């Protein structure tokens, strides 16, 4: 038995020496760790051979264990810096507000049957979208409102009577939009609205017949008006919620399309196991950064306070040359897409790409996207204030 063990050990040692040579030349984790993996695997394999339970060859076992060691997350060194996240995205709240849909003033036709009468006329809706940010700066949440009025002028025809009506409605449609540290998402739409109408005039046949018709028509109109107003209010809510939902869906899609955060993280390296997205909200910025569950969003250098860019990507240290090139290319597409805010001719798109250059602020590598946009907006506000 001793001779069998010696022969088996010599054979395994020879196999081990042959399989370990490529490992030393590769760019792998510390050799001490790889050596420990090989040593533990060797001992387990010898014991399996002695016990008669060995099923895999040593070559397969060693390769499997080393591959696991190469791909598993490296253990933390224990210092606080290992718990700090190293990639930060800042999104200007003013930039989000600039994405709000424009003010609306549009008319529509009214043509329907109601209580046996044909109702025709026009409805004019006026509204202005506004964004309100959550006052709790720890929650990157904002609400898009669409407030306005609806005015109607209609004629209800039920021979031999024509009733001329006007109506007025007020509404506030709103929807919460959240940022979870990775992407924007929207909540459910809700609406607060009111509507009331009044009779402006009544057309009836002349003479005695007309007076009799009026005598019976007026009480009937008064009786059905609350129901008619309720139906008009319900229709107004459905129309506004549908249109508002489409606008806010587009807003969220636009924001996510203009913030290639996931792609940037993929270029900078795979996510560590157990990492989560951390975020913070200040008066001017929504900030997000990935890291361990107990980490915090790292503090940026003092130069960050002077920045005026809608979107900013901060990377601690300098990415590899290939990653940096891909990041600039990725964010240049966004940079050009912001031309709709610059009011530039299409020929200016090439110049916009050329302007996107990374800068170094202390230990940070920074991409600022569309910095001219927020500067122009702030300058406009200052001009209005001084005027």
Mean pLDDT computed over 185-195? 94
First to last CA, the chain: 101
Q: Which residue has tokens 């031999």?
A: 160
pLDDT at 364: 92
What is the length of the chain? 387
C-alpha–C-alpha distance, residues 273 and 270, integer Å: 9
Query: Do the Cβ atoms of 144 and 175 come closer than 8 Å?
Result: yes
3-state secondary structure of 298: coil
| Maximum pairwise Cα distance, the chain | 131
Q: Which residues contact 282 (CB under 8 A, 6 or more apart)?
A: 137
Averaged pLDDT of the chain:
74
pLDDT at 311: 87
Question: Within 13 Å, how many C-alpha atoms sit on residue 284's CB side?
Answer: 12
Handedness of CA 341, 334, 307, 132 (dihedral sign): positive
Structure tokens at 360: 């170094």
CA 91 to chain centre: 11
Pick from 54, 56, 63, 60: which is nearest to 26 by CA? 63
pTM of the model: 0.61
At 76-118, the pLDDT tens digits run 334 444 445 588 988 888 777 776 777 889 999 999 999 999 9
Number of H helices, E strands in the chain: 10, 11
Query: Do the Cβ atoms of 252 and 184 come closer than 8 Å?
Result: yes
Mean pLDDT computed over 297-323? 84
């Amino acid at each position: 038995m001793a001779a069998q063990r010696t022969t088996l050990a010599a054979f395994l040692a020879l196999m081990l020496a042959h399989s370990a040579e490529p490992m030393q030349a590769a760019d792998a984790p510390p050799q001490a760790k790889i050596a420990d993996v090989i040593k533990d695997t060797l001992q387990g394999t010898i014991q399996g051979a002695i016990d008669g339970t060995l099923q895999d060859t040593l070559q397969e076992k060693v390769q499997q264990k080393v591959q696991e060691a190469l791909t598993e997350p490296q253990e933390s060194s224990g210092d606080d810096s290992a718990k700090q996240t190293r990639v930060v995205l800042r999104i200007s709240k003013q930039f989000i507000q600039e994405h709000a849909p424009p003010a609306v003033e549009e008319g529509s036709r009214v043509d329907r049957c109601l209580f046996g009468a044909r109702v025709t006329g026009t409805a004019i809706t006026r509204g202005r979208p506004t964004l309100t940010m959550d006052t709790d700066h720890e929650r990157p949440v904002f609400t898009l409102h669409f407030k306005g009025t609806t005015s109607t002028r209609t004629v209800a025809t039920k021979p031999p009577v024509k009733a001329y009506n006007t109506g007025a409605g007020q509404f506030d449609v709103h929807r919460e939009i959240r940022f979870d540290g990775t992407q924007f998402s929207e909540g459910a739409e809700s609406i607060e609205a009111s509507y009331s109408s009044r009779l402006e005039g009544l057309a009836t046949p002349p003479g005695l017949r007309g007076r009799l018709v009026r005598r019976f028509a007026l009480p009937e109109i008064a009786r059905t008006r609350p129901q008619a107003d309720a139906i008009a209010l319900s229709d107004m809510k459905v129309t506004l919620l549908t249109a508002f939902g489409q606008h806010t869906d587009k807003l969220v899609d636009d924001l996510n399309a203009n913030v290639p955060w996931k792609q940037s993280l993929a270029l900078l390296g795979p996510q560590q196991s157990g990492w989560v997205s951390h975020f913070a909200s200040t008066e001017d910025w929504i900030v997000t950064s990935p890291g361990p569950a107990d980490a915090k969003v790292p503090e940026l250098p003092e130069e960050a306070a002077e920045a005026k860019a809608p979107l900013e990507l901060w990377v601690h240290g300098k990415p590899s040359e290939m990653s940096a090139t891909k990041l600039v290319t990725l964010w240049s597409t966004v940079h050009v897409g912001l031309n709709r805010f610059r009011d530039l001719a299409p020929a200016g798109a090439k110049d916009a790409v050329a302007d996107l250059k990374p800068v170094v602020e202390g230990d940070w590598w920074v991409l600022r996207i569309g910095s001219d946009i927020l500067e122009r907006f702030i300058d406009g506000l200052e001009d209005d204030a001084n005027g």
